[in-house]
């Protein structure tokens, strides 16, 4: 079983579809991914995927790929948050947030994690940013325990696809005991 950091660097270097830019960002990436994978595999938490409006295409991509038959692995608990809450960008008050959290606590007794991808100023980001254990891919803001990108980056969409590829490979490696992620 390989150590996660070494496995990640080796995977970045060997996979021609993952950009070399990721090697420079490995120390931003590894802690949040290992925590997220540990929450999924060891703690049986579900993942609620949320994106800003400009990344709806990426939400659909993730949900189509994550449990694809091509993966040859157990199905994983990834869900479109919009299915549970229509117009999540209209949740404004603390009371509405608490009611939503109560519903999610009942629906997911083992817990849940928000995976948010998008601009941090989006109203859809609010709930993800205030929740513990969120898996945040934020644009244009440096927030601790998140992976930060620039929305003005001409290669942003390609980088998102590369990040997903690395995350998916990390999930596989953890599921099949090829790596040990930090807990």
DSSP string covering 85-134: STTGGG--SHHHHHHHHHHHHHH-TT-EEEEEEEETTSTTHHHHHHSTT-
Structural domains of the chain sorted by starting position, each given as residue range(s) with its CATH number in brackets: 2-175 (3.40.50.11670)
Please indicate whether residue 108 or residue 130 has the higher confidence score (pLDDT).
108
Higher pLDDT, residue 23 or 95: 23
Helix (H, G, I), strand (E, B) or coil at 178: coil
Cα 23 to chain centroid distance, Å, stands at 18
Q: What percent of the chain has pLDDT over 70?
A: 96
Binning the chain into helix, strand and coil, the percentages to the nearest 5 are 50, 15, 30
Q: What pLDDT is attached to residue 95? A: 82
Q: What is the pLDDT of residues 37-79, one digit of tens each?
A: 999 999 999 999 999 999 999 999 999 999 999 999 999 999 9
**What pTM does this model have?**
0.93
pLDDT for 88: 61
Q: How many CA atoms lie within 13 A of 66 on its CB side?
A: 19
Q: What is the mean pLDDT of the chain?
A: 91
């Amino acid at each position: 079983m390989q150590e996660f950091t070494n496995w990640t660097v080796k995977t970045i270097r060997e996979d021609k579809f993952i950009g070399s830019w990721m090697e420079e960002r490995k120390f931003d990436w590894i802690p949040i991914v290992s925590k997220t994978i540990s929450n999924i595999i060891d703690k049986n938490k579900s993942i609620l995927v949320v994106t800003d409006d400009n990344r709806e295409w990426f939400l659909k991509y993730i949900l189509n790929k994550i449990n694809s038959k091509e993966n040859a692995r157990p199905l994983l608990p990834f869900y479109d948050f919009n299915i549970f809450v229509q117009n999540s960008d209209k949740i404004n008050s603390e009371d509405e947030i608490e009611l939503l959290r109560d519903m999610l606590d009942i629906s997911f007794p083992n817990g849940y994690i928000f995976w948010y991808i998008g601009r941090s100023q989006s109203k859809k980001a609010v709930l993800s940013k205030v929740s513990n254990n969120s898996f945040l891919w934020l644009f244009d803001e440096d927030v601790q325990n998140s992976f930060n990108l620039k929305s003005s980056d001409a290669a942003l969409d390609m980088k998102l696809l590369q990040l997903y590829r690395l995350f998916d490979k990390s999930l596989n490696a953890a599921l099949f005991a090829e790596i040990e992620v930090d807990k």
